[in-house]
Amino acid sequence: MEVLENRMEGLYCPAGDFFIDPRGQVKNALITHAHSDHARAGHNQYLCSENCTSLLQVRIGKDAKIEGLKYGEKRKIGDALVSFHPAGHILGSAQIRIEVKGCVWVVSGDYKPQADSTCESFELVPCDGFISECTFGLPVYHWADESEIHREMNQWWRENKKADEISLLFAYSLGKAQRVLAGLDAEIGKIYVHGAVDSFLEHYARAGVVLPAVEVVNRNKDQPYGGSLVVAPPAVEDSAWTRGFRGAKRGFASGWMAIRGARRRRNLDRGFVLSDHADWNGLIEVIEGTGAETVKVTHGNGDALSAFLRERGLDAEVLKGAVIRGEEEE
């Protein structure tokens, strides 16, 4: 790989002396988005998209040295020309375009070409080499339109409200929770959120994302939960916090809900197939749309996707030594 090297700390650009979404501690870190498996504390300085900066501060602290670039703005770093482009994953998420001596590589981070009112629309970036996630890189994964999933969520909530039951819906605190909230019908009842979800809402509001009014769950306050809907992160799924909602109907919003048995294993009443990653068709369309001749895949089912791409005539392989993760880590 001429433009990028795969090192222990992560992807490294020798021409610019920077890492992308690095592990450990490095001098210069370029960050694709603010999920904790991509944005880690401890680096000397950070560069990300403009809309990612405040979210990144929530993740790693306000004292961190963070600079944001507007989408499409070019920055010369050493001998590399860098720019950030919308990834459509969550608010402020970006693909990072790196050009060195006329050769262009794009590191996609996590991305979603599907429409989403809570974040910037995905932008296809032509390149010579493309590093693609493949979290859902199997043909079994196909996403329905999000409006259909929101309709299902609201219907589930209405049914639970008729029985004065609490609807406890698990969704990752950054990105997924806001996407869930954007589709809820506030006329059905009251909406509550876990504090981890609430910590990001003001940043979405400042970015112009319209979400319904919510109240933060407060165990020290008498709150009328019957018939309400509560959005909480999966990190508290088996905690005392969740057990306090005795008898609540439990739902989960995730791409993993497309797999038979996933709902049963987590003791859920309902699973909603809503993902902030590309499905199989989305991955293929994006990868081929970039025009890249060389493709490295990471973060999921890489063997299946790279084999498929090689059959289509691309030079494709799994990025060696990459850390394999699932959907967003809490």
Q: Write down all domains in the chain, each with its CATH number in brackets.
A: 5-140+277-318 (3.60.15.10), 146-272 (3.40.50.10890)
Half-sphere exposure of 28 (CA within 13 A, CB side): 10
Core vs surface per residue 106-133: b (16+ CB within 10 A) or e = bbbbbbbbbebebbbebbebebbbbbbb
Q: What is the pTM of this model?
A: 0.94
Residue 312: how many CB atoms within 10 A of its CB? 11
Per-residue pLDDT of the chain (330 residues; tens, 9 = 90+): 579 999 999 999 999 999 999 999 999 999 999 999 999 999 999 999 999 999 999 999 989 999 999 999 999 999 999 999 999 999 999 999 999 999 999 999 999 999 999 999 999 999 999 999 999 999 999 999 999 999 999 999 999 999 999 999 999 999 999 999 999 999 999 999 999 999 999 999 999 999 999 999 998 888 889 999 999 999 999 999 999 999 999 999 999 999 877 777 788 999 999 999 999 999 999 999 999 999 999 988 799 999 999 999 999 999 976 544 445 444
Residue 258, token pair as written in the block: 């497309």
Residue 67: how many CB atoms within 10 A of its CB? 11
